[in-house]
Amino acid sequence: MKKILVTGALGQIGTELVAKLRQGYGVDNVIATDIREIDHDVVKGGPFELLDVTDGANMHELASKYEVDTIIHLAALLSATAEEKPLLAWNLNMGGLVNALEVARELNCQFFTPSSIGAFGPSTPKNATPQDTIQRPTTMYGVNKVSGELLCDYYYQKFGVETRGLRFPGLISYEAPPGGGTTDYAVEIYYEALKKGTYESFIAEGTYMDMMYMPDALNAIVQLLEADASTLIHRNCFNVTAMSVAPEDVGAEIKKHIPQFDLRYKVDPARQAIAESWPDSIDASCATAEWGFKAQFDLQSMTTDMLEKLKEKGY
């Protein structure tokens, strides 16, 4: 039986992952932690502790107290915020990661942390970006992600920590909003389409990036954590994706449900520059071959579900 500590549990991924893990492994076996406490199921529906991930001693104390055997480390600043506050991003993203890896080493825990398409840069092949390729990102977030991938490799090779990870594309979801990411337009567009019938995209027309619907992301995390180690050639940074889309593709799909929907553009140069440094589409065939990754949702089925779920929430 797994006993799992999750950091950043109130973020976009954590909010839904904690619910899924509690359902699968039992409420008392999932310890949610975050730097803030709010009135939410993640806090009220099972064990919850306040944790600043830059405080390694407190992380160790909590992991020992609950006798966890798995750490899922999600707390991090996303790309656009990291670019605005690079020093904070380095300290939080790298400091938090090394603390979490140290706790995993000391307590012999399995370990998961997400990497990102942000780990690629302008010199990376733009289309069908391979699993193993050039990684010279030009953003602080990308520097953090490549360093994180290498650090996880190091903890596995040097100390035998069972580290695993995925390079996530933009994640689209309706439970908790993302914050400070470059791909956030692809979430905001659904909310605004229902609220106002119009959306002003901060990413330019024709800019392709990979995306995935949250249920596929959550399944991928659980599937990779449960994968037989002997099948894994790669370990910490599997490319995973469900679709490669530009804003107008998402807009056109929304229009099928809301014909009057009007998509406009007010490009944010900072986020546009980040988007242009990332691949247009990545190749996830190693994840498929090594542990059976397969996304269920494409743009069409995701859009139908997103709009339905948001309407149920009153949008």
By CB under 6 A, residue 212 contacts ligand AKB: no
Shortest Cβ distance from residue 173 to ligand AKB (Å)? 11
Q: In 3-state terms, what secondary structure has residue 244?
A: strand
Shortest Cβ distance from residue 257 to ligand AKB (Å)? 24
Q: Identify the DSSP state of 7.
A: E
Render 117-184 in DSSP notation, one character per residue: GGG--TTS-SSSB-SS------SHHHHHHHHHHHHHHHHHHHH---EE-EEE-EEE-SSS---S-STT
Q: Which is nearer to ligand AKB, 22 or 271 (CB)?
A: 271
Shortest Cβ distance from residue 73 to ligand AKB (Å)? 15
Pick one of 79, 113, 129, 201: the residue that binds ligand AKB (CB under 6 A): 79
Mind telling me the catalytic residues?
A: 141
* Number of residues assigned to the chain: 315
Strands 30-34 and 48-50 come out as parallel
Q: Which is nearer to ligand AKB, 29 or 81 (CB)?
A: 81
By CB under 6 A, residue 78 contacts ligand AKB: yes
Shortest Cβ distance from residue 263 to ligand AKB (Å)? 19
Pick one of 7, 116, 135, 241: the residue that binds ligand AKB (CB under 6 A): 116
Q: In 3-state terms, what secondary structure has residue 89?
A: helix
Pick one of 11, 14, 46, 118: the residue that binds ligand AKB (CB under 6 A): 118
Q: Please report, for residues 69, 73, 247, 252, the alpha-carbon distance to residue 188 in angstroms, rounded to integers and kept in the order given.
A: 36, 25, 11, 15
Strands 243-245 and 209-213 come out as antiparallel
Q: Which is nearer to ligand AKB, 14 or 170 (CB)?
A: 170
Q: Which is nearer to ligand AKB, 13 or 31 (CB)?
A: 13
The residue number with the shortest CB distance to ligand AKB is 181
Site for ligand AKB in 124-183 (CB under 6 A): 141, 168-170, 178, 181-183
- The pair of structure tokens assigned to 73 is 């480390």
Q: Which is nearer to ligand AKB, 199 or 278 (CB)?
A: 278
Q: Please report, for residues 7, 93, 123, the alpha-carbon distance to residue 51 in angstroms, rounded to integers and kept in the order given.
A: 8, 14, 37
By CB under 6 A, residue 239 contacts ligand AKB: no
Give the neighbor-by-neighbor strand order of the sheet with 70-73. Answer: 48-50, 30-34, 4-7, 70-73, 110-112, 163-164
Contact 182, 278 (CB under 8 A): yes
Binding site for ligand AKB (CB under 6 A): 78-79, 116-118, 141, 168-170, 178, 181-183
